Amino acid sequence: MISKSSLILFIFLVSCSKTITKSQSKLKTFNPTELDISSFKSIGFGQFELKVPKDWKKIEAQGIDSYVIQLVSSDLDTISSDLGFYSNDLSPYDTLPSFLDRSFYNSLSESDLADFQENGIIIYDEWNTIDREAYLKTTEEYYLVDGYKSRIVTPKTSGISFTGIYIEKLSESYGRPIKFNMYGNNLTRRSEIELLHAISTLKFKM
């Protein structure tokens, strides 16, 4: 169940928004075809709805400054969605390791090194020998989803990093874009495929 405070914030965002024209670019509509989704069920969340596998379930979630929902997939993976001003853009560069010059690395204490450990550490002697792109864990492509320009993110290696969608601007509130994402992290291959098909069915009421 969404908290009262989250609902109030969500209503505020929507009531203050102004209509904008959906993207009319030449991007293709996102339409994965690995699954037959005729058996998927419709599920709604106020200002958007989508179709998901019948055994997916809603779970309680609470957002501090946005409207947050969560789902549990067929394989018990958690799928999260965030609609608001600060939705994570799922940038592939957010999961890059820390690149440290060898001399700098050698000067750090163990406690200092802990600050760089989240995504691993790559030690280099010459910066121009580093190919940062080779360390990206996800790929991204742009499509239309319900007419909105959308970043579709998928892992380079199944089961490692994010699968999901990010929309930079659904509408506006006081000149600020209302953003949207829906994603899972380190999903099973089945959950990845099911999520991408669910994303393709998104319909917004902004």
Residue 75 CA to residue 133 CA, distance in Å, equals 31
Both tokens of 33, joined, read 């075809």
Contacts (Cβ under 8 Å, ≥6 apart) of 143: 27, 28, 29, 30, 150, 152
Return the pLDDT at 67.
Answer: 80
121-124 and 98-101 beta bridge pairing: parallel
Query: At 118, is the pLDDT very low, low, confident or very high (cuts 50, 70, 90)?
Result: confident
3-state secondary structure of 152: strand
Residue 64 CA to residue 6 CA, distance in Å, equals 7
User: What is the pLDDT averaged over residues 122-142?
Assistant: 94
Return the pLDDT at 19.
Answer: 44
Return the pLDDT at 46.
Answer: 85
Residue 195 CA to residue 61 CA, distance in Å, equals 18
Contacts (Cβ under 8 Å, ≥6 apart) of 4: none
Do 48 and 205 contact (CB within 8 A), yes or no?
Answer: yes
Of the segments 21-25, 92-96, 115-119, 158-162, which one has the largest average pLDDT value?
A: 158-162
The conformation of residue 76, written as its DSSP 8-state character, comes to S
In the chain, domain spans? 4-89+136-204, 97-134
Return the pLDDT at 8.
Answer: 41
Residue 38 CA to residue 107 CA, distance in Å, equals 59
Token match 């080779």: residue? 134
Does this model's pTM top 0.95? no
- Which CATH class name applies to 4-89+136-204? alpha beta
| Tens-digit pLDDT profile for residues 23-76 | 455 899 999 999 999 999 999 988 899 999 999 999 877 666 668 899 999 999
What's the mean per-residue pLDDT of the chain? 87
3-state secondary structure of 180: strand
Rounded to 10 degrees, the C-alpha dihedral 14/20/24/25 comes to -80
| Tens-digit pLDDT profile for residues 137-171 | 999 999 999 999 999 999 999 999 999 999 999 99
Both tokens of 111, joined, read 């406690």
Do 137 and 153 contact (CB within 8 A), yes or no?
Answer: no
Residue 37 CA to residue 6 CA, distance in Å, equals 31
Both tokens of 179, joined, read 């953003």
